Structure 1
């Protein structure tokens, strides 16, 4: 099974993402996001730490992806790799170390300007093979 695949959507772009567990799903969602944005393969020259907490897994996934989009366009940081730890307490928590390098989306070629991950038809499902999610990105 592939880590992700494109899905049809009328105005925006969607991906179906798979993982054996939630950390892998979140990692593969980030990989899918940046595969849409650019073909450039960054090196792990810098490190960022991201800590998030929300009420639901769907909120956490959207918040995670939108944090990465924001970091890409405001901090000009393109991720290379992800180490993700997920905690389930009263709130859903993500603690990630993201390695990557500086990348100016305004100076280098990007394929697609993704504005945000959306809640449109968003669902995270579990089955015997793992976890999957369908995510629509606003472009």
Structure 2
């Protein structure tokens, strides 16, 4: 797998396609893509090739999310990260997934304090056009739309 995520064309919102080897990596790459797509302004970090790079991610937030199925888990996990970002003025660029199954994830989000967003601010993670599928080779692909 060469890509972790890519931005797709969308008329009014942000649409992301995420690639992964397994469910844990899918959540991790979706988190990375969600925050990278809006380019948070992070003091002390650099932007290279359209992505924010930080030498250190000093902030850690523990999350535990339970949902009805894996599609809902993806949306709820990203929504929890978005909520924490709004409350604490932080962006999360990576995550360690400690436990995951089809309806539950326990993870540590890692990020940094931000001063704003270069592109725009995400209002919500949506179910509109949501696609989550496991490919024949066992890898995972998701398409997610973010309301801006």
Provide the TM-score with structure 1 as the length reference. Answer: 0.87
Q: Tell me if the contact between 1:78 and 1:102 (Cα under 8 Å) persists in the aligned partners.
A: yes
Kindly report which structure 2 residues correspond to 1:88-107, keeping only aligned pairs within 5 A, or say none: 88=101, 92-105=103-116
| Structure 1: runs of 5 or more not aligned | none
- The match for 1:118 is 126
Q: 1:100 to 1:75 in 2, by over 3 A?
A: same
Q: Tell me if the contact between 2:31 and 2:94 (Cα under 8 Å) persists in the aligned partners.
A: no
Q: Could you say what the CA RMSD is over the residues aligned between the two structures, in angstroms?
A: 1.7
The reply to whether residue 68 of structure 1 matches residue 76 of structure 2 is no
Q: 1:46-96 deviations in whole A, cap 9, x for unaligned?
A: 2110000001111111111111111112111222321013433xx710100
* Distance in 1, Cα, partners of 2:99 & 2:132: 15
Number of aligned residues: 134
| Structure 2: runs of 5 or more not aligned | 40-46
* Distance in 1, Cα, partners of 2:7 & 2:22: 20
Provide the TM-score with structure 2 as the length reference. Answer: 0.82
Kindly report which structure 2 residues correspond to 1:1-139, keeping only aligned pairs within 5 A, or say none: 1-38=2-39, 39=47, 40-42=52-54, 43-88=56-101, 92-105=103-116, 109-127=117-135, 128-139=137-148
